[in-house]
Structures are given as structure tokens and as C-alpha cells.
Structure 1
């Protein structure tokens, strides 16, 4: 399969590369410095860059088949998402960052007009942020049917009780809405027990217990947290799609979310390879430049091979999602969700090694890049779950 880029994608790609060179990379240090002053508030430079991105027409590029997005397919969006993934701060600048992208897709597909007006429009405009409340500390959440948070109807309200963690983005002062997955009917068929409901962050009973760091990073101003829901009451109109539709919504959300993670990680790996080569050219060991050491040359070659393999697998999955749908493309999505994070971890690790002690410091972006890449091997389903999906589908072919 030859993945030919259309003219509109090539144009956006060049505009995005130029924007990254002129505005993102030069301001990464500024962003980090401003974070020290207002830890959980959006740094002023972020708001400035968002306005620049809007003016440049580089905004909400992720939404396919929607009047609210750029109208790009998954295949068309892939190279653009990869470019954004080269910087940890970039996706938010273009309003293409998780978990907001997945939450906007949910609201766009399953929300009522009232829900869209109140929550989707401000998210699309970048005025607020959101979180996705699914994972729980007391059960293995890689099996979504395990979710135990209770959502009980009482008259015109739903009452929510439970404990969630890894609520990404909730610590941000701009986070205003939670999409909560819980159990509305324990006696329903297995995949119809769960529902999803909209919970404003300031609703009484929503309590942030603690920040959860990732390899020592608190991920400000985004953050990941453990949250308790104690008799949280929201109107029945806050339910998404309907009772018992939570599992189906989760599956619809996680397909694009998984491939977006992979696209961004390919960009991160590309930047890591560039940094590896640059560092190897600058250093001399045992009488010759590091770039001339055999093992380093092997790492460079293997990294190029690994990145291109992951990219082609990702593009194939995107093509399948566009042409036959997410359900038919389950194997392709599962394969990239294993391959891309694993590849990124390997490439970034090699770059860290070439940088020596500097590689694990905050002088270079590699340590943070590695932390983010490593967690994606767990986020949106661990490797083992996706491998099991691939195995089942492969065995089914042989059975037939």
C-alpha cells in the first residue's frame, strides 16, 4: 500500500513544521519556566501560542467526519499528529491533546445538543479542559466490565459513589468537566451494565485525593490524580447516549485515542533520534567522535528501522479505520498500540545512553519523553490485553 499525501495534508504539514520551528521549540524552556510560577495554571505562553495556532488555521485537526474539525481522515491526520508529538507541549497548543481529544469525540458523537452547547463548544474553542474518569484503584481496569463506581438514579438525579485514579488533566485549573464511567445496572447483560455521565468538576462530593506522579514527574499543569466521588448528584440529563451504553462509548473512544498516542510517539522517537545523532557528533571518546563508534552507528540504523516499521504499521491501521471501520481494524489498532510505545521506549533509551548522565536530567527532554512513552504501554489498555486481542483474531482465522 502506497500512502500518498494529498495536497491539503502536505500544505498543513509544512505549515505545522514551520510553526513548530518558529514558535514551539524556542518556547519550550519559557513554558517550563512559567510553570514554576503558577504550577497548575496554564502558563501565559500557552495561551499566546494557542491564539497563534488558531490564526494559522492549525486548530482541532484531529476530528474526522465532523463539522467541528478539519475534516481529516485518520490517515491524513497521522503525519500531523506525529509532528505535534515531537514536543510535550505542542498537542495542547493545537487543541489536539489527550484526554480532551477523546472527550470531544465522545461529545461530538453521543452528546445531546444541550450537552454540546455547554461542554463541547468551550472544549473546541480551547477555553476549558476535561478528564476521562474510567480507571479505578480497586479493580483491574484493563477489563472495563470490572468498573465498580456506582451511578444510581434517584428521581431527576443520578447519585455517583466511587473512587477513580489516573484522572489525567483534572489538576489543571482549566479542567471543568469529567466524563465518568460507572455501573448503573449490575443485573444487566455484561456489556450493558456500565454508563457514562457528565460531572462538572465543581459538583459537591468530587474530591481530589492526591496527585499521582509519573516516574517523579507531576505532569503540571495537566496532572494525574486519584479522585473520590461521595454522593455526587447530577441531573439525569447529564447521561451520555443512555443507560447501559458506557462500554460501547468506551470502545468508540479508545480506538482513535490509541492511534493518536502511537502517532505522537513516532514523532517523539524521531526527535530522540535527531538528538542522539547531534550529541554523538559533538562528543569525543577514546580518541574519536562518538558517532564513529560501532555500537552507536548500530543504534542509529536500528532506530531508523524501528521508527519506520512502527510508522507503516500505524498508517496501515489508520487506513483500515478509515476504510472498514474501527471494529474490523481491531487487530491493526491492537498491534500498533503494542509496537509504537515499545519502539519509542527503545529509541529514546538509546538516545539517553548516548547523552550519558545528561540524558536522565532535565537539561534535555529525553527523560520526560521516556516517562511519557513508558506509560503509554499501560494507558488505554496494557500491552498484554492488546496482544491477547491479536492472538484471538489470529486463531480465529486458523479455526475458519
Structure 2
């Protein structure tokens, strides 16, 4: 069981890099396929839509299946999707390949988490999930910059080929190191195979708990995720052209800047969790307000030596709100937190899809630099929703002086 977590971390790193790396190779994709930057940005929207649709649907269809064979099958689809992306003869094929890859991503993550927990020693389940999630952080810190560097040196197709090889290595590690029946221990010892399947099918019928989503506080918490993250995701999606065309950076500088962004995101994620434990909504409001200020600073100072600082700060502040958003959803949906978190993840992908589309419309209209102002405006909407949630909470929970 010792090799289970490292094997899954390699898979998570590869799959997640495939999601994040497009931000760094966007100009190369657009130039090579002879499409506009906004059209290339829609590839981010395609991936997000694939996750929104594929996550709930595929997870429901595969409920009760043995997890190791399922994970291997999902990885095969991801490998095929990235390989087709590398070999795509045109924009349409690449667009379809991104959707196919995204369809299996959410279901893969869900099953990987269950396998990791089942393999964890007693009392260390939470830290195990945190280690698995570090594969995602590593994809942003290392995967996206490295993929961008590969794209700059050998072309964007080489980036997708490298991701294909990484996912293939992960698949071989899972096949070799993850025990075939490791998923059974997640249910409990002394349980028959039939009882395991019945238990998993019962958990898969979470649709019966959809009534929890009718709660106003749950809807508001999920709505904040969908709205407040649009600005950050818009800037991240078009970060490469913003740096090269607005900020006058060279294409070679994009990879180091993505590394700086990823380091900021990691720091912000850890700090945001610590702060949210102490004052959740206050932290969220403060961070979103600071994020608006950062977007305005980008707009005013594009092309200056402050850019590296702004890149780090934007990653840190933007990702500092995510732990609190997740905690808020779990708090407001205590009766069905797993279902609510799944819907909240879809809401985040809705934000990503809308960010890619809206950013493209802004570029086609007032121009690339206006992305910063559009990001600030959408973040203000998130502040408005967060303020409503804060006021509703204060009206229900007395404040002790």
C-alpha cells in the first residue's frame, strides 16, 4: 500500500498540468492553428464545460465499479485525449480532444481520493488527501511553467506529448503499485463484495439529497464560487498574451512568471485556510477587495518592474479565498456536504468556462488590456454576493461583544 499515494500523485500532477498549461502556450497554439487569441481561449472553456458535464454524469454511471480498473480506464482516456491534442491537425480536433480529456477528469479525481483514503493509516486520512492535493499545487508551481518552457523550446505540441508521457508513467505506476482490492478497505473489514457494491450504489444515489441544494445559504455559497472566481480565472487564462503583448515581456519570460504565480497560489492557499478558520467571510471579503485593487494596479502599471510582484500577489490573494469558499459550502450544506462540494466544483468550472468566453469578447472589443478592468468588475460582483452572505450570517448568528 506504500506506493499507492506516490503513484496517484504522479497521475494527479499529469492530469492537472494538462488543465493549467494552456495558459502558458496559448499564443503558440493560436499562431500555429491560425486562430485568434480569443478562439484559443475557448479551449479553456471547452475543458471546463467537459468537467461540468462529465463529472456528475460519469461519476453516476460508474458508481459501484471497482476503483483500480476504473482509474486505469479513466487514465487511458486522459492519455488518449492529450495525445490527440498533440497530434491535432486543426482547431476543431484540438477542441474536441480537450472536451474528451475533461470528461474523465473529475471522476478520476474523486476515485483517486477514495483509493488514497482507503490506503491511508488510521487517523491520517485528511493528511493523505492533502498530500494528494499537493499534486495539483505542484502542477501549477512546476507543471505549467515546465510545460510552457517545453512549448517555447519545441512547440506547443511537445507540451501535450510530455503530458501524455507523464500520464502514461502514472498509469504504469498505478497498475504496478496500487493493490487490486485497495478500494475495499474504504468500506470496512469483514464486508462481502455484494455488500460493498450495495454500499457504493447507496452512496452513488446522492441525487436523493438534492433537496439540500434548495437552501438559500447553500445556493448563495455556490453562487459566490461561480461569480467571484471569474476575474481571477480570466486573467490567468490570458496571462501569456497579457505579459507579452501588454507587458512587453518575451515569450521566454512567461514560464518563470507562471512559476511565480504558482508559488503565490500555494502560499495563498495555505494562508487562506488558516485565516478562514478564524474569520471565514471577513477573510473572503478582504481578499476579494484586495484582488480588485491588484487588477486595477495591473491596468495602471502594465509593463513595469512591478509585474513580477503583481503576478505573485494575484496568485496568493486569488487562491486565498478558495479554502474559505469550500468550507462555507460544507458548513451551509451539513446534511449533504459531499454533494454540495461536487456542485461547488462544477460552479468553479462554470466560472472558468465563462472567464474564457468573456475574456475573448473583451479582447475582440475594447482590447486585451481591458481584461484587467473586466476582471475587477466581475470580482466586485463576487464582493456583493459575499457581503449579502455576511449580512445574512450576522442576522442569524448573534455577535458577542
Q: Say yes or no: TM over 0.5.
A: no
More strand per residue: 1
TM class by smaller structure: 0.3 to 0.5
Output the TM-score relative to the length of structure 1: 0.34
TM-score by length of 2: 0.33
